[in-house]
Amino acid sequence: MAGAARKKLVGRYEVGRTIGQGSFAKVKFAVDADTGAPVAMKVLDKATILNNRMLQQIKKEISIMKIVRHPNIIRLNEVLAGQTKIYIIMELITGGELFDKIARQGKLRENEARKYFQQLIDAINYCHSKGVYHRDLKPENLLLDSRGNLKVSDFGLSSLSKNGFLHTTCGTPNYVAPEVLSDGGYDGSAADIWSCGVILYVLMAGYLPFEENDLPTLYDKIGSLKEPSH
């Protein structure tokens, strides 16, 4: 029809509305014009990436997402590059964040928490088998699909390592393992499992085990935790 608005195309994808936005990227709803399948399109501005010295981080995130293929990990379909933008085409997840579910209803029923935790552990065990360590596991980075299945997302801080011994201090303070806060390096798999344990606590209790407004106090609390003797 002559009066109809032309749809914006990126490659073979028809680009629609913005469904998410972060500091350095927008996420658009898009449709594969060949198959009709809906996808999520993460749009990054090249100049912004270069100005913030994020190019290597973005390259690493993309290379890691190409490695991981698991039912409980968000799937990378392909990456396209234009003159000024990078387009990361991913599986579209429509059920929101696990964080939103907890914020809405508080602690979960045990059988529901068990299901999510099992799916999380399956995904992270798979990542570790590939030498991938997520390093920023938290409910905000766990998405739910239309069937209520968990999908691990956001590999922006992840690392690829043969022996799993890492040195960079990173992650979200409330979920970070004590050894990550030290200067001696840490086992990436153990640090991820610690974060999984904090997530399980949040699922079952509805609140964080470690919570302080002051970061040094929070880190002291995390670092002084003693394991029970029994």
CB 1 within 8 A of CB 20: no
CB 211 within 8 A of CB 220: no
Cα-based distances in Å from 138 to 6, 23, 52, 208: 40, 18, 24, 11
Active site residues: 136
CB 129 within 8 A of CB 180: no
CA distance linking residue 19 with residue 29, whole number of Å: 6
Burial class (CB in 10 A: 0-12, 13-18, 19+), 200: middle
CB 84 within 8 A of CB 137: no
Q: Is 101 annotated as a binding residue?
A: no
Q: Residue 154: which region, alpha, beta or left (left: phi > 0; alpha: psi -120 to 50)?
A: left
CB 206 within 8 A of CB 106: yes
CB 180 within 8 A of CB 169: yes
Amino acid, single-letter form, for residue 140: E
Annotated binding site, which residues? 42
Annotated binding site for ATP, which residues? 42
